[in-house]
Every structure is written in structure tokens, then in C-alpha cells.
């Protein structure tokens, strides 16, 4: 499908692609010799969470292997330790966290970063795991893209009400509903 979209865009006369934090960098290859600029969200999230730099009670968490490189870079920039979750999906919209690898001794705050929040299943699973089994008290989430469909709104509310979700930072790469924008702990960045 990605190849088809690239072919259609090229046939329509597109001569450059600028993309914000793509889900898979391999997409670049479908555009051949056309200039492709894939913007990353590292600078945005470093700026948003700079207040946690070098804090000994904070850990950065990758909710899955796909986010591990990004979160590792984030952790290095802010001098924070990093943890990585292992998960599987038994069916759509359901994410089961099987393990979180990292040193949580003395950690009260977690910053979870991902490229996309769709139905919120991954974020929901990892935050519950962090609070229930790792002793985390406060959670901050950053996501480059917010589809926020299905159960996402209800899951975010439950995470805020019962699992220490303090802030959800998301970009406007996908327009949000008024109901989502009205959540007091959500910050939408351009």
C-alpha cells in the first residue's frame, strides 16, 4: 500500500516529500531519487520534558521495541535511564505487556514516548504495568500522532483518574475532536 501511495503521488507530480515522524522509515525507499525529508520528534519531546532532565526519580519508557531507539536517544539527551516494554497483540485494540526491562529502583515518574496512539491499548497496558508492578506514581506521555479512535478517550480518562497520568502531549499532525482537546491534561503541539 505504501508503494502504491508513493507511485500515485509521483504520478500526480509530487517532487518532494516532507513527513513528520513516520511509523516506518523504510517508506523513504518507495520514492526513489525524489528528495524525502523525514522529520523526527526528538527535539519536540526533549523540549516538552526538559524539566525532568537528570532527575534520579524519573525513567523514560519505550512501550514496545519499535519505540526503543527513539526513547534511548531521548534518555541520553536528558540523562535519564530507559526501560523497554515487551508486548503482544492477541487481537486488534488489545495490547498485553509481558515484561518491562529496566531498573525502577527509586523511580516514581515515568515518561512514555511513542510515535502513534490509535486506540490507546498499548499506552493503557504499559501505564497500568508501570503503576501496578513497578511502583510508578506519575506518568507523562508524548506521542507524535494521535489517531485517538475507538476506546482511546475512555482509556486516557481511566489512566488519568486511576493510574497517575499527569499529562498527554500530542501533536496536531492529525486533527483531534473537541472532546479530546477539552481533556485538561492533554496538550496539543503544532
Which residues have a catalytic role annotated? 87
φ, ψ dihedrals at 105, nearest 5°? -60, 125
Residue 45 and residue 61 in contact, taking contact as beta carbons nearer than 8 Å: no
Q: How far apart are CA 16 and CA 31, in angstroms?
A: 9
* CA distances from residue 73 to 109, 130, 155, 176 in whole angstroms, order as listed: 18, 21, 28, 28
Cell of 151: 476506546
Amino acid at each position: 500500500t505504501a508503494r502504491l501511495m508513493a507511485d500515485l503521488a509521483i504520478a500526480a507530480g509530487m517532487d518532494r516529500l516532507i513527513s513528520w515522524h513516520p511509523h516506518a522509515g523504510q517508506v523513504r525507499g518507495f520514492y526513489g531519487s525524489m528528495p524525502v525529508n523525514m522529520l523526527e520528534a526528538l527535539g519536540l519531546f526533549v523540549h516538552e520534558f526538559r524539566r525532568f532532565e537528570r532527575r534520579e526519580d524519573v525513567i523514560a519508557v519505550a512501550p514496545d521495541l519499535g519505540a526503543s531507539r527513539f526513547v534511548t536517544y531521548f534518555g541520553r539527551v536528558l540523562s535519564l535511564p530507559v526501560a523497554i516494554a515487551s508486548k503482544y497483540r492477541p487481537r486488534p485494540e488489545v495490547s498485553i505487556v509481558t515484561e518491562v526491562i529496566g531498573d525502577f529502583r527509586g523511580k516514581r515518574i515515568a515518561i512514555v514516548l511513542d510515535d502513534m496512539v490509535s486506540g490507546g491499548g498499548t499506552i493503557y497496558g504499559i501505564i497500568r504495568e508501570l503503576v501496578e508492578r513497578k511502583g510508578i506514581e506519575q506518568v507523562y506521555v508524548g506521542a507524535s500522532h494521535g489517531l485517538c479512535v475507538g476506546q482511546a478517550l475512555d482509556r486516557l480518562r481511566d489512566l488519568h483518574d486511576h493510574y497517575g497520568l499527569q499529562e498527554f502531549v500530542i501533536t496536531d499532525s492529525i486533527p483531534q475532536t473537541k472532546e479530546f482537546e477539552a481533556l485538561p491534561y492533554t496538550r496539543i503541539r503544532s
